[in-house]
Chain A
Amino acid sequence: MGASGIKYICLLALIIGASLLTIGDAKSRQDVVAKLNGIPAAKWLQLVNSAIDSVTRQKRLEENLLNSDITVKNGSLSHVQLLDTLPNLASKQDSELALKILKSSLYVFNSECLPNEIDGDECRSYLEQKPLPEGSSLRTECENLLKGNREGHHAFRRLLVSSHYKNGFYDMFPNTGRLNTVPAAWSISKGLYEPDSIQTAKQIRFENNPNLVLAQWAQFVEHDLSKPVSQSMSSGAPIECCSRDQINLQPRHHHPACAPIICQPSEKYEVPSCLNYVRSALAVADCNFGGAEQLNQATASLDLSQLYGLTSAAEKKLRASEGGLLKSTPRGENDNALLPIASDTEGPSFCAREIIGDGTCFAAGDSRVNSNPFSILIYTIFMRNHNRLATELHLRNRRWSDERLFQAAKAINVDIYRRVVIDEWLPAVLGERLAAEVKTTRYPSALEVSNEFAVAAIRFYFSMLPNELQNLSKDNIVHGTEKNNEYILINKNLPSTSLFELKEEIYKPQLEYTSKKLNDILESLLNQESMKMDAAYSGGIVWHKDTKPTHADILAFDIQRGRDHGLLPYHRYLESCSLSRPVNSWKDFEQFIPKDVLDKLKTIYNSWSDVDLIVGGISEMPVHGSVGPTFSCIISEQFVHVLKQHVQKADHKYAQLVEQYRHLNGTKLLCLSSGLLAVPQNIFQLPSASNRLVSCEDV
């Protein structure tokens, strides 16, 4: 597909635009409009009131659930997942209002559209243009919300305009009932699973293979740009959709926002296992009726909000209030400091522990900091970098206030981060050519993060994560031996030892975190090859067995979330990104998906038209970078908007200062913020003859 990824998106826009303008023949559209325009004002008000009554009624149900103790327990699997999708107060408020608007739309749909043979898509596109009734409390509430500070509470954008819901508004696939063709999320993940031994055997060693730092940065970038959060009860309590034994709850304990990930075992009468899935918080896009849009508790520019916090209030909590510094846990030198420890009251928002205050738990601007040792490490690096910069600035400008030092250090830190992401990481993911194209493409306006990027494309890195991080630190290997023009690493003590098992560390930091440990992890990340980007995830992050799950299944979760967000099926994106013609059969996937994977997909899905975006995306063979053409297309599109945001929202206050630090790249960043002695030129590739180590002493 090469250079044409972005162009195809333009084509796509053309197609969508054309079909929107002329949906069907004009007559039926007019019929719909005439029919719905004929609804008297009083009726619109009544429909909205019915919806608000129904939202109010839900409170009784929620009280019951809480009385029956059906909520997320500290330390449970659902707690782990909650931290990945933890809403803040403003998101909850947005989502509650959005739910009222959605319910109002559904009342219109069920009362006025369906009985008159107006289908979901027709009805929704009419309602999207229809303002909430003048004089209704809902309209007032909505307008007030939009007037307020909306930082970081935007709706995800839909790449292909339309959503994919059973009823056009909100009902998720798969179907229940006999016309059930779409397989359940968990069964897809199980169907794709391969034992780790097979996966490792398939691993082919290439020159310039990506290392695990690439996956780690993908996660960090995700944390910055995207945070779909889950809905909560109106009291703020988190919603639980499974029993404590990880089996499904009785229907009477089912919250309306629940869409648990269920696995029906093959044995007759057996009890299904259950993983929590709560539907994502909704966003208020405007004060019109319309279908569901999900909320992004993050902004579309690379601003290190995951480190500094999304709001100024959150940022304030993280600052040391002197010298422009961020809070940290000091360990002698600055490049040894660790992240601050979460206070006891913050504990449950950062770590999934049964007992609050038990063990290490770091705090940062995002609940996802403790999601694994990789994230802890990279958050730490940027915290150290900030504090190093602030200290430097302070030395040079003794009279600068804390505020000025902080803002200047932050501006420089963000700029370094942006350059590493755009100039180094993006080429590793997309390939040089497409990454360069991203920088030169210009769209008329900067838009929010796309749903497809947030819940599918950027999630590619999970496929690259291994179960264990091997200890490839300098104590364990002999560096830099060059033999016959090949640069190889020699492992000192075979078999290799591992630093940790991923599944043990998710939101429960067990390692004893010291500066040295972080150095070991970083060194190993640089030196361990990432798993192949493919449809098989390692056993530590999926649950492929029929037994009671003791950890989550990331792939099943991502599939479920894609459906929750109403993403169109994979083929629609393939058509617009790469094929520029409609897909007609499985055969059309052949040039993108390896045969063995395609054969598996055929046994899992009844139809090629059902394949979920995330599943198709991870199944594709990478072409130039680390991901296949469809994910390349979605990621590149997103970064065009990100770059545009950077231009539009640029703050030139510290431009000169920032300029002074332009020489800092990924290698130098890692050198300066860790205890490593040498770091490869390209931090996203394994060290090799073409990717030599740079000594940190020279930095």
Chain B
Amino acid sequence: MLKSANIKLLLVSWSCLAALSQAKSYGSPDLDIDNDNSIATIESTVDPFESCKIYCNGTLLHTIQMAKPPLFSDSKTFVDMTLKYSPDKTLEDFNAMMEAKNQQPSREDLKNFIKEYFGDKGTELESWVPSDWKENPSFVDRISDPDLKQWGVQLNDIWKKLGRKMKDDVIKSPQNYSIIPVPNPVIVPGGRFIEFYYWDSYWIIRGLLYSEMYSTARGMIENFLSIVERIGFIPNGGRVYYHGRSQPPLLTGMVKSYVDFTNDDQFAINALKLLEHEFNFFLNNRAVSVNNHTLCIYSDSSEGPRPESYSEDVNTAASFDSDEKKEHLYTQIKAAAESGMDFSTRWFISEDGTNAGNLSNLSTTSIVPVDLNAYMFWNAKLIAEFYSKAGNIKKVTEYEEKAGEFLLGIQEVLWNEEAGCWLDYDIENKKSRNYFVPTNLSPLWVKAYNISDSENISAKIMAYIEKNKLDTYPGGVPNTLAAQNEQWDFPNVWAPMQYILVEGLNNLNTPEAKNMSMKWATRWVKSNFKAYTDHLDMYEKYDAQVFGGHGTGGEYDVQTGFGWSNGVIIEWLSKHGRDISTGSGSGASASRVMSVVGVAAVTIVALIAGRVLW
């Protein structure tokens, strides 16, 4: 048992090393990134995944995460704890303890071991107030409604609470932490997500840019570039246990956003090699061929259950009888995590080829997702654009061609004329999956369609919206129409998805689409505002059926903070703040105050009357 676990560990570190060497071979020696000194020291001396021995798999992880009843109310707690001793000593002493307890440690034994060998979760991070934080960013001035203006100010304040900086010891002794060291401080999503996350950061960075915090935004992008340089791709989030999966590739989009705000073209040009490298990571590791088109899927390269949701995954796989089938399911689970939509009926394929079933029906790698391929198209377009700024015509042509190939694949494989929309494609059953997900409309956002065809596409998309009754929900457009109690299913609504829908419809540029876009943006802002006034919190997800209601479902309780929700609201307050107001008009709130006074007065009169009558 122990031996095989050790072998697995070895395999993991090999695969990490392989990724590393791949990164190095891609990274050109004349890279010019202005903050790479700190990286060099990390890179040259230590294996970035040394702590994987503890946090990614093995007997220790298994024993602690599988304790019954569980030792922690959230499985992620343990893998975010710090090590007091080296991974080797910790493992050695753990094995000795197991030996002493006859491989049957009690819950108490495990608790004691954790107390002695592990520090509290998140203690490697310090809160950090961004040095470029601005008290009065100009987006606030663009909001006319006084309540929304006030809210804008408070959202801007939240950046100070979500700032995190790694302690020096993380850089010195990364083997004692599950966190992946990065040179610059970051803005985290919030709640249980105390480290940076990949695709979350796209909307966080846009929010920072609208809040005029350019250097924090730039620092976060540089972190990602440094990770690509060291690891070859960007893991799901800033922990070693995410080492086998990425997330929707939006790094190039982040660079584009930064350049749009700062006009610092050189920044994009300098980043090009690493952006290309990340693009190639997906092309080399995530490509499939469908009807002679090369398209990408979400996948994963690691073994075992997700360390941060270990017992949950083991339970999900319990219905499978062989290790091989279990391992296959773990891959599907982690691939779904790579998509960012963990979990959703979007990734279920049942026996009869529908989205019925439960987590054991996850078949992420058999589904060609609309969004990933739209992003691949977009990345190629942006890389071409940056190369044209650099004057490298050859590369421009190369990436325009790559973009063209993705565009063709999207049109031929993912567009479904009957549904009048793009749909995910089921490779197993060779058919489109006609289920609503906001990402079905993601080509609109990144303009992965023939612009000349806008009128036609707009008519079809509007019909698709009507048919799926997407405009009937008071709290935003739900992520799917299947009530599964997974967090990326009905009735949950997510800020990035509202963003993709709203910005995509706006891009279509027809009056109907633009109207719907504005309507949905307004609804989203007002519903988030209501939730905020009720609870003083921004949520990671909301509820389509409840105006101002937060989401639920999945494997952990709803989190607050919250990076991408804040980012989207700040952007839309900035863009539409002149046109949105709370309530039906200023008259309503005034009369509401009146009615409260009225009731109080009546009660008092009645009470006095009552006393006299007695």
Taking A31-B588, A115-B526 as known contacts, 7 extra A-B pairs with beta carbons closer than 8 A to each other, sorted by chain A number, are A64-B358, A68-B358, A116-B584, A117-B589, A251-B485, A270-B72, A580-B610
Q: Determine if B583 and A60 form an interchain contact, defined as CB atoms under 8 angstroms apart.
A: no
Name the interface size band of chain B. 35 or more
Question: What 0/1 readout, one digit per residue, does chain A (239-268) give for beta carbons within 8 Å of chain B?
Answer: 000000101101111100000000000001
Name the interface size band of chain A. 35 or more
Determine whether A35 belongs to the interface, using a CB cutoff of 8 Å to chain B. yes
Give A110 Cβ to nearest chain B Cβ, in Å: 4
Task: Give the residues from 377 to 403 in chain B that come closer than 8 angstroms, CB to CB, to chain A.
Answer: none
Task: Give the residues from 47 to 95 in chain A that come closer than 8 angstroms, CB to CB, to chain B.
Answer: 50, 53-54, 57-58, 60-61, 64, 67-68
Pick the interface stretch among A176-184, A465-473, A518-526, A645-653.
A176-184
Determine whether B594 belongs to the interface, using a CB cutoff of 8 Å to chain A. yes
Determine whether A119 belongs to the interface, using a CB cutoff of 8 Å to chain B. yes
Question: How long is the Cα–Cα vector from A596 to B102 in the complex, in angstroms?
Answer: 52
Q: Determine if B598 and A23 form an interchain contact, defined as CB atoms under 8 angstroms apart.
A: yes
Question: How long is the Cα–Cα vector from A57 to B469 in the complex, in angstroms?
Answer: 14
Given A177-B534, A548-B69, A250 and B554 contact (CB-CB distance below 8 Å) = yes
Question: What 0/1 readout, one digit per residue, does chain B (58-76) give for beta carbons within 8 Å of chain A?
Answer: 0000000000111111100
Given A15-B606, A57-B482, A580 and B552 contact (CB-CB distance below 8 Å) = no
**Partner-B contacts on A (CB < 8 A):** 4, 7, 11, 14-15, 18-19, 22-25, 27-29, 31, 35, 46, 50, 53-54, 57-58, 60-61, 64, 67-68, 106-107, 110-111, 114-119, 122, 175-179, 245, 247-248, 250-254, 268-272, 548, 580-582
Q: Determine if A254 and B484 form an interchain contact, defined as CB atoms under 8 angstroms apart.
A: no
Q: Determine if B614 and A580 form an interchain contact, defined as CB atoms under 8 angstroms apart.
A: yes
Give A3 Cβ to nearest chain B Cβ, in Å: 12
Question: What 0/1 readout, one digit per residue, does chain B (470-495) give for beta carbons within 8 Å of chain A?
Answer: 00111100000111111100110000
Given A23-B595, A27-B591, A107-B474, A14 and B486 contact (CB-CB distance below 8 Å) = no
Q: Determine if A117 and B602 form an interchain contact, defined as CB atoms under 8 angstroms apart.
A: no
**Contact residues in B for A67 (Cβ distance below 8 Å):** 358
**Contact residues in A for B589 (Cβ distance below 8 Å):** 117
Given A115-B526, A117-B584, A254 and B73 contact (CB-CB distance below 8 Å) = no
Q: Determine if B72 and A269 form an interchain contact, defined as CB atoms under 8 angstroms apart.
A: yes
Give B540 Cβ to nearest chain A Cβ, in Å: 12
Question: How long is the Cα–Cα vector from A22 to B600 in the complex, in angstroms?
Answer: 11
Task: Give the residues from 64 to 110 in chain B that come closer than 8 angstroms, CB to CB, to chain A.
Answer: 68-74, 77
**Contact residues in A for B558 (Cβ distance below 8 Å):** 251
**Contact residues in B for A580 (Cβ distance below 8 Å):** 607, 610-611, 614
Give A633 Cβ to nearest chain B Cβ, in Å: 15
Task: Give the residues from 573 to 614 in chain B that come closer than 8 angstroms, CB to CB, to chain A.
Answer: 582-584, 587-589, 591-592, 594-596, 598-599, 602-603, 605-607, 609-611, 613-614
Q: Determine if A119 and B554 form an interchain contact, defined as CB atoms under 8 angstroms apart.
A: no
Select which of A11, A28, A57, A271 is within 8 A of B69 by beta carbon: A271
Question: How long is the Cα–Cα vector from A301 to B22 in the complex, in angstroms?
Answer: 82
Q: Say whether chain B's binding surface is mostly helix, strand, loop, or mixed.
A: loop
Pick the interface stretch among B149-157, B206-214, B445-453, B541-549.
B541-549
Given A15-B603, A115-B547, A269-B72, A254 and B595 contact (CB-CB distance below 8 Å) = no
**Contact residues in B for A114 (Cβ distance below 8 Å):** 474, 530, 547-548
Determine whether B32 belongs to the interface, using a CB cutoff of 8 Å to chain A. no
**Contact residues in A for B523 (Cβ distance below 8 Å):** 115
Residue of A nearest to B73 (CB): A271
Question: How long is the Cα–Cα vector from A250 to B519 in the complex, in angstroms?
Answer: 35
**Contact residues in A for B556 (Cβ distance below 8 Å):** 250-251
Q: Determine if B606 and A117 form an interchain contact, defined as CB atoms under 8 angstroms apart.
A: no
**Contact residues in B for A115 (Cβ distance below 8 Å):** 474, 523, 526-527, 547, 583-584
Given A15-B607, A179-B534, A580-B607, A252 and B474 contact (CB-CB distance below 8 Å) = no
**Contact residues in B for A25 (Cβ distance below 8 Å):** 591, 594-595, 598
Can you report 10 A-B residue pairs in the complex whose CB atoms are below 8 A from each other? A19-B606, A31-B588, A54-B483, A114-B548, A117-B592, A178-B536, A179-B536, A248-B73, A251-B552, A254-B553
